Structure 1
Amino acid sequence: MAEISTIARPYAQAAFDVAQSDNALSNWATFLSDAATVASQPEVHEIANNPRVSAAQLLSLFEAAIGVTHDSQRNFLATLVNEGRVDALSAISTAFLAHKHAFEGSADAHIVSAYPMADSEVADVTAALEKKFGKKLNATVSVDESLIGGFSVAVGDEVLDMSVRAKLVRMQTALTA
């Protein structure tokens, strides 16, 4: 069987093309994220793989859970359901976001801080990171007290770890080498 990301790519591209032509990238990003969340539920996975559940019933379940209002989104979901590709929704959503970010010249940044950050601190860190990475960043922040101090940032596959824990590990490695 083909890998999920291979299956997801053409669907994500098609969704991006439709969303771009409709000038609705954010709407589609939310729609795909919601659909992926629904599809990831174990109960929905079980229903999707039940041969006694028709495609129309599965489509109705998704429409009710997500609140689909646009025909293009309804048609997209119908295609996925009819082709048995509901399990690929998470990968489709991820690939769609990659297309969206590339188009907008932006990226997601996940900041993990040792302590809760004020909005002004997040704005300052985000501004500095935007200069470093050369693109607009959509920052999300979480707290991990095990960092001891400082923060760690992940942008795509790049990680910038400025935490005290990481510095202590580097010092330990240098001293024991």
Structure 2
Amino acid sequence: MSSALTLARPYARAAFELARANKALGDWAGKLAFAAQVAGDARVSALFGDPRIAPTDLAALFAPEGEAADSDFTVFLRTLADNGRLPVLPEIGALYEALKLEEERVLKVRVRSATPIDADESEKLRQALKQRFGRDIEIEPSIDASILGGAIIDAGDVVIDGSVRGRLARLEHALTH
């Protein structure tokens, strides 16, 4: 996995720079997400390295419908195909998305809670996190009954465990040590 990320990083950076220069960050994000989804299909991944298929023909599978043959994105896909890098499209897409969010000063935060968070609580949380991190916040909620109550907030490098399960574990540790 780390080697795939190493291979993907310069291509993600190049795609990001090209999209930023053309003021098309969102457009490229959608196209890369589509291409990454195609690359993840087992039927398509079986074609990687097949000598009977020309790289340009293989690259055409990853372009969204209606994409011009001479567009920057199609040229990018052909470059990936020529260099044998189409299999790392999912990693390129993920790295590109991270660069895009950084550029837009948006922090993606995963919030696991035992029960669904209503809109008011979500907005209060968003504002508190925005104040703490100084960036716009995009919340990805998920339900995890195993945490019993409260929430676990994962903001990349920072994890805030406000769950009942986490509090019980800290209490147990304090009592036993």
TM-score normalised to the size of structure 1?
0.89
Q: Determine the structure 2 residue equivalent to 1:69.
A: 67
Judged with a 3 Å threshold, the aligned counterparts in structure 2 of structure 1 residues 30 and 137 are, in CA distance, closer, same or farther, namely same
**Contact kept in structure 2, 1:130 and 1:136, CA below 8 Å:** yes
Alpha-carbon separation, structure 1, partners of 2:120 and 2:29: 27
Tell me which residue corresponds to 1:57.
57
* Whole-angstrom distance in 2 between the partners of 1:141 and 1:86: 31
CA deviation string 1:104-159 (max 9, x = no partner): 22221111111112222211111111111221111111111111111111112321
**Residue type of the alignment partner of 2:106:** S
Change in CA separation of 1:111 and 1:68 when aligned onto 2, cut-off 3 Å? farther
Structure 2: which amino acid aligns with 1:108? Answer: K
| Secondary structure in 2 matching 1:3 | helix
Residues 37 and 157 (structure 1), Cα distance of their counterparts in 2 relative to 1, 3 Å cut: farther
Percent identity between matched residues is 35
Matches within 5 A, 1:25-174: 25-63=25-63, 66-67=64-65, 69=67, 71-174=71-174
- Take 1:80 and 1:149, find their aligned partners in 2: how far apart are those partners? 46
| Gaps in structure 2 of 5+ consecutive residues | none
Q: Matched residues in 2 for 1:18 and 1:5: separation? A: 20
Q: Secondary structure at the match of 2:137?
A: strand
- CA spacing shift, 1:14–1:49, aligned 2, 3 Å: same
Computed over aligned residues only, the root mean square deviation of the Cα atoms, in angstroms, reads: 1.8
Q: Deviations over 1:37-60 (max 9, x none)?
A: 221222221122333333233223
**More displaced stretch, 92-101 vs 124-133:** 92-101
What amino acid maps onto 2:36 in structure 1? A
What is the CA–CA distance in structure 2 between the aligned matches of 1:46 and 1:158, rounded to whole Å?
Answer: 38
Query: Which amino acid is 1:132 matched to?
Result: R
Distance 2:169 2:50 in 1: 49
For structure 1, which segment, 95-104 or 105-114, has the greater mean C-alpha deviation from structure 2 after superposition?
Answer: 95-104
Question: Alpha-carbon deviation of 1:175?
Answer: 1.7
Kindly indicate whether the alpha-carbon contact (under 8 Å) linking 1:68 and 1:74 is maintained by their aligned counterparts in 2: no
Query: Matched residues in 2 for 1:114 and 1:68: separation?
Result: 43
User: What are the residue-to-residue correspondences of 1:4-43 with 2, within 5 Å?
Assistant: 4-43=4-43
In structure 2, relative to structure 1, the CA distance for the partners of 1:163 and 1:68 (3 Å cut) is farther
State the 1:167 CA deviation.
0.8
